Structure 1
Amino acid sequence: MRPLTEEETKVGSIGRNIAHLIDRPDEPYCFRMQKDRVYYVSEAIMKKATSVSRDQMLSLGVCFGKFTKTGKFRLHITALDYLAQFAKYKVWIKPNGEMSYLYGNHVLKAHLGRITEDTPEHQGVIIYTMGDVPLGFGVTAKSTADCRKLDPTAICVFHQTDVGEYLRDEDTLF
């Protein structure tokens, strides 16, 4: 495991709120990279893990995502609980659209319950149920103002990943 480089931190960053994840009041945490995956782990556990050889280490902490071969960072659903705490832009979907989203479909205007004011187009968002349970990640297809004008079958949020991924892709998550 190695620390992320400055460039990797910028590409995989969650913005200014990354400081809230690292400098926690209970104990300090850090991001470490093993092969192409980025892990979020407490510094105490990370120091203990130095006694394990790299080829024997499968995972350490919570996998936040991985870098693709093209150098882009792809978030994994395992990071949802941590990122949902600090999300600036949120989308809530109605109960009739929850299962559709959990099966990997985009969020339609008919399923849109609420959306954070002034959310720009092509912005990363956290998808919630109307009861504030985080379901996954998405990217807005239209801004908040444009979503109000759409017809019910138009796509408001593009699906990226959801908690159903635990079942669909459990063999590739780790």
Structure 2
Amino acid sequence: MRPLTQEETTAVFEKLAKYIGENVMQLVERPDETYVFRLHKDRVYYCSESLLKMAACVPRKELLSCGTCIGKFTKTHKFRITITALEYLARYAKYKVWVKQGGEQTFVYGNHIVKRHLARITENCPKNTGVVLLSQNDIPLGFGVTARSVAEMRSADPEAIIVFHQADVGEYLRSEGDIL
């Protein structure tokens, strides 16, 4: 595992900022312990320094992961957030969307959210911004990107797409081998 380069750090923080805004600094500057981002086999991991020291005892070829996988770099060197980062995205999200019970299943199967599945949304949510999708019981389901602003959503028809699907908890089952 190695520290991220300046370009990699910028790409990771820019992508995280789309979902959690200025709360990115709360990931790094935590009161309990120092946390860091590390790269291992094109995947970015978020872990404490104490865990990182323990992982240093494991040979690099045999190490599968260390901490929480936040995302991965594609072959074109673009950063993509994975579903394993949902815990931190949900905790620090700037904009949230609550989905009706009937829309939960369709979203978890990998479909976009339409207006009739929308229960609530954070006020003043702009177009093309990252949102975390939650059930009405505040259980994180995944994350996506808004297709319309809140003002446009009010006048949209019930079958209009409101949130584009990015990742959902169903990926733990659908792409089990690709997560690690």
TM exceeding 0.5: yes
| TM-score range relative to shorter protein | over 0.9
Greater shift, 134-143 or 22-31, is seen at 22-31
Structure 1 stretches of 4+ with a deviation exceeding 6 A read none
The 5 A counterparts of 1:9-88 are: 9-13=9-13, 14-15=16-17, 16-88=22-94
User: Pick from 134, 146, 156: which aligns with 1:150?
Assistant: 156
Q: How far apart, in 1, do the equivalents of 2:8 and 2:24 lie? A: 13
SS at match of 1:70: coil
The 5 A counterparts of 1:61-140 are: 61-140=67-146
What does the per-residue CA deviation read over 1:26-63, in whole Å, with 9 as the maximum and x for residues that have no partner?
Answer: 21111100021000111001012222221111111111
Corresponding residue of 1:2: 2
- The amino acid across from 2:81 in the alignment is L
Q: How far apart, in 2, do the equivalents of 1:129 and 1:50 lie? A: 39
Q: Which has the higher helix share?
A: 2
SS at match of 2:77: coil
- 1:125 is displaced (CA, Å) by 0.6
TM-score (norm 1): 0.96
- The amino acid across from 1:4 in the alignment is L
Corresponding residue of 2:147: 141
Q: How far apart, in 1, do the equivalents of 2:151 and 2:4 lie? A: 38
Q: CA RMSD in A?
A: 1.0
What does the per-residue CA deviation read over 1:143-174, in whole Å, with 9 as the maximum and x for residues that have no partner?
Answer: 11111111001100000110111111111100
Greater shift, 82-91 or 15-24, is seen at 15-24
Aligned residues between the structures: 174
- The amino acid across from 1:82 in the alignment is Y
- Name the % identity: 57
Q: Structure 1: give runs of 5+ residues left out of the alignment.
A: none
